[in-house]
Amino acid sequence: GAGVSQSPSNKVTEKGKDVELRCDPISGHTALYWYRQSLGQGLEFLIYFQGNSAPDKSGLPSDRFSAERTGGSVSTLTIQRTQQEDSAVYLCASIPQVWTQGEQFFGPGTRLTVL
Amino acid sequence: QQQVKQSPQSLIVQKGGISIINCAYENTAFDYFPWYQQFPGKGPALLIAIRPDVSEKKEGRFTISFNKSAKQFSLHIMDSQPGDSATYFCAASRGVQGAQKLVFGQGTRLTINP
């Protein structure tokens, strides 16, 4: 079956522009997570969704970051007025339910470069 | 505050040797400890995981050793192969109470020399 997909795979933008990153989770997975992987760093949690609601946005680094999920499926992470420190790989993961402890299935990520 | 600390940052091992990566955690509420393997250009993939009620788990050449009192766990790769060259991340989560959010270590870049 299809895994988690993300688009675009690479995004180069200029400082101050807005960007949208897309995640398509595994079909039927109701919980979806966004993580950020900065160069030489581990992954840091940004936000998660259970269905279309986002109970925990605590990892979003600033109010320039927002995310939404529609139809319990595709999620979009939006970064407004991008800064150079936003350059990173943004990873999405999904699991069947938020109470399912076990493997999180990751997409290949979107590499964002802010010039 | 770094809740999961991983070492070393990089590791070079000869083919056939044993690779050992260590992690330490702070939050005693963590109840799930996975290791993820990541190849360049790919997302991380689960390698092996352990819960704190056991001290060791083995799957093929990969073993997790868990020391609850010391709040430490480690990954051992036996008979390391060049195909094992990747970045390895330890992680921890608090289960349902933590909404399965993973807290990751900083990663270890493992190189296996042929």
CB A93 within 8 A of CB A24: no
B77 Cβ contact partners less than 8 Å away, ≥ 6 residues apart: B18, B19, B20, B61, B62, B84, B110
CA distance B60 to B57: 10
pLDDT digits (tens, 9 = 90+) for A27-58: 999 999 999 999 877 899 999 999 999 888 88
Q: Which residues of A touch B106 (CB under 8 A)?
A: 40-42
Phi, psi of B107, deg, nearest 5: 95, 150
Taking contacts as CB-CB distances below 8 angstroms, the residues of chain B near A109 are 43
Are residues B102 and A55, on separate chains, in Cβ contact within 8 Å?
Answer: no
B65 in Cβ contact with B56 (< 8 Å): yes
**Cα Rg of chain A (Å, integer):** 13
Nearest CA-CA distance, residue A14 and chain B, Å: 23
What was the pLDDT predicted at B25?
97
Q: What is the pLDDT of residue B38?
A: 96
Please name the residues between 45 and 104 in chain B that touch chain A, using a CB distance below 8 Å: 45-46, 49, 89, 93, 95-96, 99-104
Q: For residue A39, what pLDDT is reported?
A: 82
User: Which residue(s) pair with A54 in the sheet?
Assistant: none
What is the reported pLDDT for A101?
Answer: 85
Only one residue has tokens 């996975």, namely B34
CA–CA gap between residue B9 and residue B87 (Å, rounded) = 9
pLDDT tens string B21-73: 999 999 999 999 999 999 999 999 999 999 999 999 999 999 999 999 999 99
Strand partners, B76: B20, B63
Per DSSP, the three-state class of B97 is: helix
Q: What is the pLDDT of residues B43-55, one digit of tens each?
A: 999 999 999 999 9
